[in-house]
Amino acid sequence: MNILVLSDLHIDTCDNFGTFQWNEMDLIMQIEGIRDLYSIDKVIFNGDVFEMIKYTYEDIKRANPILMRYFSDNDFVFIRGNHDILNESAVNHYDIINSHGQSIHIEHGHNADWLNGNRLGRAIGKFGLTLLKKLSHSKWVRDIYFKIVALEDEINHIPKKYNTIKYLTYALKVLKEHDVVILGHTHKLEAHHTYYLNKKKRYLNSGACSLGRFQCIIMDTETLKYELIKESREAIKDMYLKRIAI
């Protein structure tokens, strides 16, 4: 089975404070292009699909009717993240066991950090976001916010709050019982291999699809071979249009 794992879309109401920054049809075309090009059998959204800390689910649905209908018309798997932990249609994690008995464990990954891994931390984080939203009517506040988010995506090192070692350590603990662990949350595409009891283990991170980016993981669950995808929306759209034109 070929799976597509993507995370951290942060679908919002497309207001001035939003970080989704996708046209609904453009995103659908990206996903459909990948599904077609790689013969995807299962699409898994690994958390923070909806920005439910800043907005209500009903507000998000009203702002993105085409995208929400697309989600409901497809057999997609939705995993809870720290920003959409109240999504009742989502699961906490998703596991796959292939015909060789190898286990693939997929979860968002926010349980690795204090701020998002417990109720007190989430309450503090929500208060900070609420305060930031109230200040977002100011153009200079919005500009600074988006510059910080964009800078984190462009620089080579992982921001301190999403330190690689912390999430790698967390993944190694989970890998004691699984052969592959796929996290999201950090907004950084990553791949690490290690061995435990002479068995090869893999930790992967699916990156992010917010701010108009498209990052994801393609994996063959039988062979455990994978590919990290980091393409511009234009590149994937061109590939898809060429494919359907053949």
State the Cα–Cα distance between residues 126 and 206, nearest whole angstrom: 24
The domains of the chain are located at: 2-245
Residue 186's CB: how many other CB atoms inside 10 A? 26
Q: Determine the pLDDT at residue 231.
A: 74
User: Which pLDDT score is estimated for 1?
Assistant: 96
If phi > 0 it is left, if psi is from -120 to 50 it is alpha, else beta; for residue 98 that is beta
Q: 3-class SS at 106? A: strand
Q: Exposed (0-12), middle (13-18) or buried (19+): which is 35, by Cβ within 10 Å?
A: middle
Token digits of residue 110: 């926010």
φ/ψ of residue 206, rounded to 5? -85, 5
Q: What is the pLDDT along the chain (246 residues), one digit of tens a residue?
A: 999 999 999 999 877 667 898 999 999 999 999 999 999 999 999 999 999 877 889 999 999 999 999 999 999 999 999 889 888 889 999 999 999 999 999 999 998 876 665 566 556 666 666 666 666 566 666 566 655 555 544 443 444 455 667 888 899 999 999 999 999 999 989 999 999 888 999 999 999 999 888 999 999 999 999 999 997 666 666 666 665 665
How far apart CA 210 and CA 233 sit, in angstroms, is 12
Place of tokens 């090009």: 37
96-107 burial: b if 16+ Cβ within 10 Å, else e: bebeeebebbbb
Structure tokens at 111: 């349980």
pLDDT of residue 85: 84
Q: What is the pLDDT of residue 55?
A: 83
The alpha carbon dihedral of 25, 10, 61, 137 has a sign of negative
2-245, CATH topology level: Purple Acid Phosphatase; chain A, domain 2 (3.60.21)
Q: Give the residue carrying structure tokens 């109401």.
A: 13
pLDDT at 48: 95
Residues, the chain, total?
246
| Residue 50 neighbours by CB under 8 Å, 6+ apart | 9, 10, 11, 12, 57, 60, 83, 84, 87
